Amino acid sequence: MTSFNCPQLPDTVRTNGATPNPWWSNAVVYQIYPRSFQDTNGDGIGDLKGITSRLDYLADLGVDVLWLSPVYKSPQDDNGYDISDYQSIDPLFGTLEDMDELLAEAHKRGLKVVMDLVVNHTSDEHAWFQASRDKDDPHADWYWWRPAKPGHEPGTPGAEPNQWGSYFGGSAWEYDPKRGEYFFHQYSKKQPDLNWENPEVRKAVYKMMNWWMDRGIDGFRMDVITQISKVVDANGKLPGEDGSLIADDPVGPEGYSSPFPFCSDGPRVDEFLAEMRREVFEGREGFMNVGEAPGVTPERNEHITDPANGELDMMFQFNHVGIDQSGSKWDTVPFKVTNLRRELAEQQEAVANVGWASLFFCNHDQPRVVSRWGDDSTEESRAASAKAFALLLHMHRGTPYVYQGEELGMTNAHFTKLDQYRDLEALNAYRQRVEEAKVQSPESMMDALALIGRDNARTPMQWDDSTFAGFTAEDAPTEPWVSVNPNHTEVNAARQVDDPESVFAFYQRLIALRHNNPVVAAGTWKPVDAGDEHVYAFTRELNGTTLLTMVNLSGDRVAVPAESAALVASGVSEPQIVISTRGASHAVVSLANGELSAWEGVVVEL
């Protein structure tokens, strides 16, 4: 088992309900998007050797776990989330020997490594899928194959088995002339869904996972894992399929119905996850098992992450990152503090008694929070709002996830032209919504992409102010695969690592606080001033110690709301300031005046 730097919480402190407390109870995870982290060979794409070269930076930051987005062999249709060989490293990123070196060097520094795993679907170039194209092959039922709708010529418009659309645009069914049938894909047409109803599929997946665990990794973050179980009728037919006993939902404005209600948190999810736990993780120590959980409610999170049920350690839920969207992802609405508080409160309260929460604002699928909900218009407001959202997130109960560059306050790319984008989802959405269905104007779609498009999180890591931000050499033969953010000359690691007032230094303090303060790691959570439209406040309490967190999520100076003001009415001294975005002395003055400056956040021990 990997040695670990973080002190373990005593068993007198309840975390997720397990005894002893899991090692990750007071840990912080750092997500790396390998193709954008560090390029060492000049091909414009990050690689495993690049990650290894930056391990000291990550150790200095203080994080405990590295989560790597997929580095398996892949055609890269969806940047590696379309896997063609689970037990090979894509040459873009290096070799298996490079992966072994990364594991060894990370473990030397007390850092654990968790790999991203995509087993809801594979690439259409995976050997399993290629074999399944033959109806007589043993793999024939490893994917969701269906014949054309009766009375229609296969491969022609309207012949699809039902009216489901892909989340990446177009039909969710693709016709394969070799087999003479359609296969189902929730995402890209190069990402066919595996048929988890088939026990042979599950056996093959578990065998592969055990191979990686035996090789020395410390667990998995599993992509869209709650979509592995589909709703079918008594005869195995999908909703809307000819003869199905289950009706499909109505068709939407883009011309398709959505598979989401029938493919998210399906009827056998608990069974499959429990089986996976038994077959892969039971008997092992020191691992972490995390699931991305589309369609899972906070209440279901409690069940799935309850250690007594033997499923997942924690899950990613998404209600809170949908608060600025209405209907379609691309119909954006203004950010409201009350909406964020409501969604996070549901997640916190659901695991108050048992289970655990994942805490995040940013990842490879989400834009930069400082641009999305903060203010990146000036250097001062960028740094201030980056610290404010960091304080807010890290003071909640659960395991925080830092996405690469978030610890620097990296911003959205602010692209203005469609040809600057590389993301399949963005390009397909523009084509379908603007050019085909004509349900959105080009201007509003470009605004939506600039605000919430996934490429905003995928621009190269900003290490320094050189031409390519230190991501690749200035004289590299190939430019980065996606443009470097022009503001890398001001926002970069080299400028921040030795600056005690930087966003980076603030993250170091937040991470150390979680490591060393059991109240932050495991204390109860209770909202305060739940209706305030500017200040997000809550308490954390454990064994008689109470911490009050107050964060002004606006660019205006605002009054401390009534309930919070009453809690600090007797006055606050500097020793009571646990952490503050603007420093303890500034926080004391602010609270004495009954106000919080723009983007000011403070934690007070009451």
- Do 152 and 224 fall within a single domain? no
Residue 507 lies in a domain: no
Whether the per-residue pLDDT at 269 is higher than 80: the answer is: yes
Mean pLDDT of the chain, nearest integer? 96
- What was the pLDDT predicted at 327? 82
Residues 135, 113, single domain; the answer is: no
For the residues 43-52, what does the mean pLDDT come to?
A: 98
- Indicate whether 221 belongs to any domain: yes
* Annotated catalytic residue 292: yes
In-domain check, residue 506 = no
* pTM value surpassing 0.75: yes
- Under 8 Å between Cβ of 88 and 72: yes
Q: Which residues contact 266 (CB under 8 A, 6 or more apart)?
A: 226, 227, 228, 229, 230, 231
Checking if the pLDDT of 564 tops 90, the result is yes
Establish if 9 belongs to a structural domain: no
Instruction: Confirm if 55 and 110 have CB atoms less than 8 A apart.
Output: no
Q: Give domain status of residue 511, yes or no.
A: no
Q: What's the rounded Cα separation, in Å, for the pair 443 and 431?
A: 13
Residues in contact with 469: Cβ distance below 8 Å, sequence separation at least 6, in sequence order: 460, 461, 462, 463, 484, 485, 488, 492
Q: Are 412 and 66 in contact (CB under 8 A)?
A: no
Do 360 and 462 lie in a common domain? yes
Percent of the chain with pLDDT strictly greater than 90: 96
**Residue 401 has what pLDDT?**
98
Instruction: Name the domain boundary from 475, 495, 515.
Output: 495
Burial class (CB in 10 A: 0-12, 13-18, 19+), 395: buried
CA atoms of 502 and 478, how far apart (whole Å): 32
Q: How far is CA 94 from CA 45, 171, 186, 211, 281, in A?
A: 11, 35, 29, 19, 27
- Rounded Cα–Cα distance for residues 512 and 509 (Å): 5
pLDDT at 3 over 80: no
CA distance linking residue 358 with residue 293, whole number of Å: 11
Q: Tell me the pLDDT band of 328, cut-offs 50, 70 and 90.
A: confident
In this structure, the answer to whether residues 342 and 360 fall within a common structural domain is yes
**Residue 318 maps to which CATH number?**
3.20.20.80
Q: Which of 449, 462, 359, 357 is nearest to 404 (CA)?
A: 462
Largest CA distance in the chain: 78
What residues form DSSP beta bridges with 401?
A: 29
Q: For residue 406, what are the contacts with CB-CB under 8 A and spacing of at least 6? A: 361, 362, 368, 369, 386, 390, 507
Q: Which amino acid is at 284?
A: R
Domain assignment present for residue 7? The answer is: no
By residue range, what is the domain housing residue 569? 523-605
Cα–Cα distance measured from residue 273 to residue 485, given in angstroms and rounded to the nearest whole number: 40
Pairing type for strands 545-552 and 535-542 reads: antiparallel
Q: What is the mean pLDDT of residues 395-399?
A: 98
Active site residue 379: no
Query: In the numeric block, which tokens belong to residue 380?
Result: 């001062």
Q: Are 289 and 281 in contact (CB under 8 A)?
A: yes
In the prediction, which pLDDT does 424 show? 87
Q: Are residues 153 and 297 in the same domain?
A: no
Q: Does any domain span residue 410?
A: yes
Determine which one of 292, 425, 455, 600 is catalytic.
Answer: 292
The catalytic residue among 82, 98, 223, 313 is 223
Q: Which of 38, 22, 25 is nearest to 357 (CA)?
A: 25
Could you tell me if residue 4 is inside a domain? Answer: no
Task: Give CA–CA dist 506/518, Å, rounded.
Answer: 19
> What's the confidence (pLDDT) of residue 1?
44
Q: Are residues 37 and 73 in the same domain?
A: yes
Q: What is the CATH number of the domain that holds 168?
A: 3.90.400.10
Residues 205 and 70 in one domain: yes
Confidence band of 191 (pLDDT split at 50, 70, 90): very high
Q: Which are the contacts of 19, defined by CB distance < 8 A and separation ≥ 6? A: 11
Per-residue confidence (pLDDT) for residue 6, from 0 to 100: 85
At 264, list the tokens: 């998210």
Same structural domain, 45 and 178: no
My answer on whether 155 and 93 are in the same domain is: no
Instruction: List the alpha helices (DSSP H) in 133-268.
Output: 199-215, 260-263
Q: How many domains would you assign to the chain?
A: 3
Return the pLDDT at 7. Answer: 87
Same domain, residue pair 89 and 220: yes
CATH of the domain at 569: 2.60.40.1180
Does 279 share its domain with 346? yes
pLDDT greater than 80 at residue 5: no
C-alpha span between 484 and 209 (Å, rounded): 35
* pLDDT value, residue 150: 96
| 485 and 413 within one domain | yes
| Residue 434 predicted with pLDDT over 70 | yes
Distance of CA 140 to the CA centre of its chain: 33
Instruction: List the Cα angle 271/272/277 in 5-degree steps.
Output: 100
Confidence of residue 2 (pLDDT cuts 50, 70, 90): low
Q: Are 190 and 124 in contact (CB under 8 A)?
A: yes
Q: How far apart are CA 111 and CA 103, in angstroms?
A: 9
Name the nearest CA neighbour of 265 among 315, 323, 339, 321: 315
Whether omega before 480 lies within 30 degrees of 0, making that bond cis, reads: no
